[in-house]
Amino acid sequence: MTVAARSSSSRTSLRSWIDGLLRDKQFGLKGFFPKSTSAALQARHHELRQGLAQTHKEPRTAQHDYGKDEGDRANTSLERELDLGQKSRDRALLTSVDAALKRISEGTFGQCLNCGQEINTKRLEAIPWVRYCITCQELIDGAA
Protein backbone atom coordinates (compact mmCIF):
# COMPACT_ATOMS: atom_id res chain seq x y z
CA MET A 1 0.00 0.00 0.00
CA THR A 2 1.38 3.43 -0.90
CA VAL A 3 1.84 6.27 1.56
CA ALA A 4 -0.94 8.25 -0.13
CA ALA A 5 -3.34 5.29 0.12
CA ARG A 6 -2.55 4.81 3.83
CA SER A 7 -2.99 8.52 4.48
CA SER A 8 -6.34 8.53 2.68
CA SER A 9 -7.45 5.46 4.61
CA SER A 10 -6.42 7.08 7.91
CA ARG A 11 -8.35 10.26 7.09
CA THR A 12 -11.44 8.24 6.20
CA SER A 13 -11.38 6.26 9.45
CA LEU A 14 -10.66 9.40 11.46
CA ARG A 15 -13.57 11.17 9.75
CA SER A 16 -15.96 8.28 10.47
CA TRP A 17 -14.81 8.26 14.11
CA ILE A 18 -15.46 12.02 14.38
CA ASP A 19 -18.86 11.62 12.70
CA GLY A 20 -19.74 8.95 15.28
CA LEU A 21 -18.74 11.28 18.12
CA LEU A 22 -20.86 14.10 16.72
CA ARG A 23 -23.92 11.85 16.72
CA ASP A 24 -23.35 10.88 20.35
CA LYS A 25 -25.48 12.81 22.85
CA GLN A 26 -22.39 13.73 24.91
CA PHE A 27 -21.05 15.82 22.03
CA GLY A 28 -22.49 18.93 20.47
CA LEU A 29 -22.83 19.32 16.74
CA LYS A 30 -19.78 21.56 16.57
CA GLY A 31 -17.71 20.65 19.58
CA PHE A 32 -16.88 18.36 22.44
CA PHE A 33 -17.92 19.06 26.00
CA PRO A 34 -16.89 16.94 28.97
CA LYS A 35 -19.46 14.95 30.91
CA SER A 36 -18.47 17.03 33.92
CA THR A 37 -20.17 20.03 32.28
CA SER A 38 -23.48 18.22 32.24
CA ALA A 39 -22.96 17.06 35.82
CA ALA A 40 -22.05 20.60 36.93
CA LEU A 41 -25.16 22.00 35.26
CA GLN A 42 -27.35 19.36 36.87
CA ALA A 43 -25.81 20.07 40.28
CA ARG A 44 -26.36 23.81 39.83
CA HIS A 45 -29.95 23.14 38.73
CA HIS A 46 -30.57 21.06 41.85
CA GLU A 47 -28.96 23.69 44.10
CA LEU A 48 -31.09 26.50 42.62
CA ARG A 49 -34.29 24.45 42.88
CA GLN A 50 -33.59 23.66 46.53
CA GLY A 51 -32.80 27.30 47.31
CA LEU A 52 -36.00 28.54 45.70
CA ALA A 53 -38.06 25.82 47.37
CA GLN A 54 -36.52 26.69 50.75
CA THR A 55 -37.49 30.35 50.42
CA HIS A 56 -41.11 29.30 49.83
CA LYS A 57 -41.07 27.25 53.05
CA GLU A 58 -39.69 30.06 55.23
CA PRO A 59 -42.35 31.96 57.13
CA ARG A 60 -43.07 35.40 55.73
CA THR A 61 -43.12 38.47 57.89
CA ALA A 62 -46.58 39.93 58.33
CA GLN A 63 -47.16 43.25 56.58
CA HIS A 64 -47.70 45.10 59.87
CA ASP A 65 -44.75 43.51 61.72
CA TYR A 66 -42.12 46.13 60.89
CA GLY A 67 -40.96 47.02 64.36
CA LYS A 68 -41.43 49.96 66.62
CA ASP A 69 -39.42 52.67 64.93
CA GLU A 70 -38.62 53.97 61.47
CA GLY A 71 -35.13 52.39 61.46
CA ASP A 72 -36.59 48.91 62.03
CA ARG A 73 -39.11 49.44 59.26
CA ALA A 74 -36.36 50.61 56.87
CA ASN A 75 -34.20 47.59 57.70
CA THR A 76 -37.11 45.20 57.18
CA SER A 77 -37.99 46.83 53.88
CA LEU A 78 -34.38 46.72 52.66
CA GLU A 79 -34.05 43.06 53.67
CA ARG A 80 -37.24 42.21 51.79
CA GLU A 81 -36.04 44.04 48.66
CA LEU A 82 -32.68 42.23 48.76
CA ASP A 83 -34.40 38.85 49.17
CA LEU A 84 -36.74 39.53 46.26
CA GLY A 85 -33.82 40.57 44.06
CA GLN A 86 -31.88 37.41 44.91
CA LYS A 87 -34.90 35.21 44.21
CA SER A 88 -35.38 36.92 40.87
CA ARG A 89 -31.71 36.36 39.92
CA ASP A 90 -31.92 32.72 41.03
CA ARG A 91 -35.04 32.13 38.91
CA ALA A 92 -33.36 33.71 35.86
CA LEU A 93 -30.24 31.58 36.38
CA LEU A 94 -32.36 28.45 36.80
CA THR A 95 -34.03 29.21 33.46
CA SER A 96 -30.60 29.57 31.82
CA VAL A 97 -29.34 26.31 33.36
CA ASP A 98 -32.50 24.49 32.21
CA ALA A 99 -31.98 25.83 28.68
CA ALA A 100 -28.35 24.65 28.68
CA LEU A 101 -29.41 21.16 29.81
CA LYS A 102 -31.99 21.12 27.03
CA ARG A 103 -29.31 22.08 24.47
CA ILE A 104 -27.16 19.22 25.76
CA SER A 105 -29.99 16.72 25.25
CA GLU A 106 -30.66 18.14 21.77
CA GLY A 107 -26.98 17.99 20.83
CA THR A 108 -26.63 21.74 20.22
CA PHE A 109 -24.74 22.66 23.38
CA GLY A 110 -21.75 24.86 22.61
CA GLN A 111 -23.33 26.62 19.64
CA CYS A 112 -24.11 30.32 19.72
CA LEU A 113 -27.87 30.85 19.58
CA ASN A 114 -27.38 33.96 17.46
CA CYS A 115 -24.80 33.07 14.78
CA GLY A 116 -24.53 29.28 15.17
CA GLN A 117 -20.75 29.36 15.58
CA GLU A 118 -18.96 27.32 18.20
CA ILE A 119 -18.64 29.01 21.61
CA ASN A 120 -15.09 29.09 22.94
CA THR A 121 -14.38 26.17 25.30
CA LYS A 122 -12.90 28.42 27.99
CA ARG A 123 -16.05 30.54 27.92
CA LEU A 124 -18.19 27.42 28.36
CA GLU A 125 -15.98 26.22 31.21
CA ALA A 126 -16.37 29.58 32.97
CA ILE A 127 -20.13 29.94 32.36
CA PRO A 128 -21.62 26.61 31.20
CA TRP A 129 -25.10 28.10 30.68
CA VAL A 130 -23.83 30.83 28.33
CA ARG A 131 -25.99 31.22 25.18
CA TYR A 132 -23.86 33.38 22.90
CA CYS A 133 -20.28 33.48 21.62
CA ILE A 134 -18.23 36.42 22.87
CA THR A 135 -18.68 38.38 19.63
CA CYS A 136 -22.47 38.13 19.67
CA GLN A 137 -22.59 38.82 23.42
CA GLU A 138 -20.60 42.01 22.91
CA LEU A 139 -22.98 43.07 20.14
CA ILE A 140 -25.99 42.37 22.37
CA ASP A 141 -24.45 44.20 25.34
CA GLY A 142 -23.50 47.15 23.12
CA ALA A 143 -27.05 47.45 21.81
CA ALA A 144 -28.53 47.60 25.31
Identify the CATH number of the domain in which residue 102 sits.
1.20.120.910
Domain presence at residue 82: no
Question: How much is the pLDDT for 31?
Answer: 44
134 touches 117 (CB < 8 A): no
Domain presence at residue 71: no
Question: How much is the pLDDT for 111?
Answer: 95
83 touches 52 (CB < 8 A): no
Taking each helix axis as running N to C, give the angle between helix 70-106 and helix 35-57, from 0 to 180 degrees, rounded to the nearest 10.
150
Better pLDDT: 59 or 48: 48
Q: How far apart are CA 16 and CA 12, in angstroms?
A: 6
Domain presence at residue 85: no
Q: Give the predicted TM-score (pTM) of the model.
A: 0.61
111 touches 119 (CB < 8 A): yes
Better pLDDT: 37 or 58: 37
User: pLDDT class for 138, splitting at 50, 70, 90?
Assistant: very high
Domain presence at residue 20: yes
Domain presence at residue 27: yes
Domain presence at residue 139: yes
Average pLDDT score over residue span 120-126: 91
Helix and strand totals (H; E) in the chain = 5, 0
Residue 9 structural domain: 3-56+92-143
Domain presence at residue 80: no
Average pLDDT score over residue span 54-80: 73
pLDDT digits (tens, 9 = 90+) for 1-42: 544 444 444 445 545 544 554 444 444 434 445 567 788 888
Report the chain's terminal Cα–Cα distance, integer Å.
61
133 touches 111 (CB < 8 A): no
User: pLDDT class for 56, splitting at 50, 70, 90?
Assistant: low
- Count of domains in the chain? 1
User: pLDDT class for 63, splitting at 50, 70, 90?
Assistant: low
Domain presence at residue 83: no
